[in-house]
Amino acid sequence: MIDRHAVVQRHTIRYHEPHLDAPLTLWYTRPAHRWQESLLLGNGRLGASVWGGIERELISLNDDTLWTGEPGYEANPKAPEALPEVRRLLLAGDHAGAQVLAGDSLGGIGDTGVYMPLGELSIDMPVPADQVSDYRRELDLGTAMAQVTFSHHGVTYRREVFVSHPADTMVVRLSGDRPGALTFTAALTSPLRHETRIDESQLHMSGRAPMRAYTYSGRDREPEYDEGPDPRGMRWAVRLAAVAEGGTVSHGVRDDAQVVTAEGCDAVTLVVAARTSYNGPTASPSREGRDETALVRRDLHAALGQSYDRLRAAHVADHQQLFNRVSLDLGRSPQAESLPTNERLEAYVADSGSDPGLAALYYQFGRYILITTSRPGSQPATLQGLWNPSINPAWGSGWTINCNAQINYWPAEAANLAECHEPLLELIRELSENGARVARDHYGARGWVSHQGTDVWRYAQPVGNNPQWSNFVASNAWLSQHLWEHYAFSGDPAELRRIWPILSGAAAFHLDMLVEEPLHGWLVTAPDINFENIWVKPDGSTGSLAMGTTPTTQMVRELFTNVITAARALGESPELREELEVAVQRLAPMQISPTTGQLQEYLEDWGRTMKAEVLSSWGAVASAQIHPRRTPELAAALRLIFDTERWWEEKDDPLAGPCLGSWEGAFQAMAYARLGDGDTALHIFDLHLQKAVQANLGSKFIGHAPNNPMFQIDGNLGQTSAVNEMLLQSHVLENGVYELDLLPALPAQWSEGAVTGLRGRGGFEVDLRWSGGDLDTATIRSISGTTTRVRHGDRTQELTMTPGEQRVLRTDDLG
């Protein structure tokens, strides 16, 4: 048990000093004023946002399975009859007619669920905020712990907060450095309907989620609950226990709410457990759900059986086992590091070159987010990772799978966090089961399909009825690329066997979606869209529905190629492999516009009216179909799109701002990195930090109302991935040999540095050290044992390594 009589730990605290021994710390000299400034903690399933208040501390809580709705499926009865006619109209060139019919008949029935907030833990102390000194709140990325300290009347108060993956609970320790100085009240509340009570000397809060909330329209409306006698909806429960060291803890009512009161204590440990009745994507949480009350009681009992020191040590060790795999040193900046993080960001606007350490901090913050939001057994990272305070969040705070969810996982493998990739891979497996019904009922096709968005129930149908986003049918191909990458980075043949049914199913679907376009006889997907872009024809007409768009064709080509390779390696499905080998040769090729010289994004030479939504760069950033050495003409044509428009620059519309947040900045920085231009990639990275990052380092979506409580972590993780690609790239060559490309896009500003622990495809781990802008040493460790070509600029060397073997190379070792 936690020792109630332990000696109070006393700490020596240095305030407002450089803290050069802890460069991976976010710190501030005032509490958060908005949720976007809170410090983010999580264990993959349970999330906490720590505000750091003085008189009142707020910790916003989330459980990644707390969603609206229940499982359900209803086929669109219009789709089977409308599909052939939509294709006929497209082939005849009547895009307007096809768009109208698709909007009427090819949309989805129903809508996705919405991710709900769990509630808040509040801690009230009789300490006036205007009477404290030496205030500091911080988040240590290396330990995944938040801390708040301040002094009042000669007493230094401390709060330590962490969300433990081993214990599956949140732990808050409050202490004062004078015996008996600690007094506070703690309470639980929620924006959802709930009740609280005292149970077994613990504070218990429980409720039920709404059946519906509003995401795109009607966001000012209240969520809708099932009001029936046997209501449906997700059940949830939270329990809070308080263990005092010295003093007393009691329970009572304050302002009509149940509270825990600590009086005259040396220290108090609060342990919070939370669970829902979620029992998988196909089980009704109200009829077939898990017993959330029993689960939360079990979690809390297990945590209370351990001392605080043991809980803390197990949490830190578990986090560091993942976080410490990669280190990045781009140079130190003591003067900048001595500033609070919000001031450091402001200073970065003035002179980015003087603070290379902020780039390393931001990179590691991206890895931190992935660790805290995505662990084996949890749900994948949503648009906001794990954290959401709103009952009507933008886009449902869910998984938008026409780009955002995938970008979240771009850095997972290269940044040595393969385990954190697994929740997305499990979502794909579960989604493919619902997607098989949609493929059959909606399209009369084999295999499985997914569209623009999904949720905890693995919704696979089109989202809404607007073809501009509803009729995106390539998300299954993009998601399948994540399955393939997980295999490619490990080199594990057992992994290839596991993913085969999902890969082959997605390929079978796209075989059935191909039609022969009349002008060239190419095979193209119909119907199709180019992300959410609106095309414009030379005659000025506009629309979104098309066939054979460049990004969809890139994704389908990559999928077919991977499935052919897998079929040969596994000896599987020779008939399917033969179909794919014929079809892949007939797919529409990438084209260069004769009018602009840019990569053409449609079969015809049409323009694109949306801003920075260049999904045709997928062929460069998510595969190697466009590569500066292997396909220099296509690489130059793609680059010309970005070079011509330069969306990251300031525009006339101050509300729109430069396109640097979310997927926009991610695609731009990644494209330049993959094209070998590290200086421009870093320029976009720098501007992203200056324009699109909030005080807690969360990436904001530029153009949204400033008080909208949201951020989009694909902005963070897209830039994290760009840093990976500046330092190390890896691809499979035509002969099946992997290539490790060392420092392929090193920016001039990063002339001195080192990185350890990056992963390369083929099962390699790489450490690099460089100076004067050139490679000094590369340490390469083989995990699976295979052959690789090591490249640095124009110099190469081929290595054949056994499992566990390590080689140290210098520039002179490369031929």
Q: What average pLDDT does this structure show over 136-151?
A: 98
Which parts of 571-608 fold into alpha helices (H)?
574-586
Residue 18 has pLDDT above 80, yes or no: no
- Residue 634 inside a domain? The answer is no
Instruction: Let me know if residue 605 belongs to a domain.
Output: no
Residue 111: which pLDDT band, with cuts at 50, 70 and 90?
A: confident
- pLDDT given for residue 334 in this prediction: 86
Phi, psi of 185 (to 5 degrees): -125, 145
Amino acid 37: pLDDT: 94
**Half-sphere exposure in the Cβ direction for 256 (13 Å, CA):** 1
Q: Print the domain residue range for 50.
A: 25-67+114-327
Q: State whether the Cα torsion 136-142-146-149 is positive or negative.
A: negative
The CA distance from 741 to 722, in Å, is 14
Proportion of the chain above pLDDT 90, given as a percent? 83
Q: What is the pLDDT of residue 705?
A: 44
Q: pLDDT-derived band of residue 5, with 50, 70 and 90 as boundaries?
A: very low
Q: E strands, 569-716, where?
A: 607-608
pLDDT of residue 715: 93
pLDDT of 205 reads 98
Band (pLDDT 50/70/90 cuts) for residue 217 is low
Candidates 32, 26, 63, 24; CA nearest to 47 is: 63
| Domain contains 400 | no
Measured CA to CA in angstroms, residue 89 lies from 85, 92, 104, 465 at distances of 6, 5, 14, 18
> What is the per-residue pLDDT across 359-396, written as a single tens digit (0 to 9) for each?
999 999 999 999 999 999 999 999 999 999 999 888 89
Whether 293 maps to a domain, the answer reads: yes
Alpha-carbon distances of 806 from 205, 349, 422, 603, rounded to whole Å: 54, 41, 27, 48
CATH number, domain with residue 136: 2.70.98.50
Strand ranges in 145-265 using DSSP code E only, listed in sequence order: 145-152, 155-164, 169-176, 182-189, 194-199, 202-208, 235-245, 248-254, 257-265
pLDDT digits (tens, 9 = 90+) for 173-195: 999 999 999 999 999 999 999 99
- The rounded distance, in Å, linking the Cα atoms of 315 and 322 is 12
CA 699 to chain centre: 11
Q: Which of 274, 292, 327 is the last residue of a domain?
A: 327
Q: Quick check: is 197 in a domain?
A: yes
Domain count, the chain: 2
Distance of CA 133 to the CA centre of its chain: 37
Among residues 668, 667, 659, the alpha carbon closest in space to that of 701 is found at 659
Write out the two tokens for 305: 């059986």
Using pLDDT thresholds of 50, 70 and 90, give the confidence band for residue 20: very low
CATH number at residue 803: 2.60.40.1180
pTM above 0.85, yes or no: yes
Q: Is 521's pLDDT higher than 80?
A: yes
**Cα distances (Å, whole numbers) of residue 316 to 273, 360, 422:** 19, 21, 21
Q: What is the pLDDT of residue 1?
A: 37
Distances (CA, A) of 449 to 35, 305, 442, 610: 37, 47, 10, 26
Per-residue pLDDT at 814 exceeds 90? no
Look at residues 308, 327, 346 and tell me which one is the last residue of a structural domain. 327
Is 47 within a domain?
yes
Nearest Cα neighbor of 695 from 431, 204, 380, 343 is: 343
| The pLDDT value given to residue 701 | 67
Selection from 309, 314, 296 nearest residue 267 by Cα: 309
- At 452-489, the pLDDT tens digits run 999 999 999 999 899 999 999 999 999 999 999 999 99
Please say which residue of 306, 327, 348 terminates a domain.
327
In a domain, 388, yes or no: no
Nearest to 603 by CA among 515, 532, 662: 515
Q: d(Cα 76, Cα 440) in Å, to the nearest integer?
A: 11
Short-list 147, 120, 123, CA closest to 28: 147
Q: Residue 204 falls within a domain, yes or no?
A: yes
Query: Which residue type is seen at 240?
Result: L
220-266 tens-digit pLDDT: 688 999 999 999 999 999 999 999 999 999 998 888 889 999 999 99
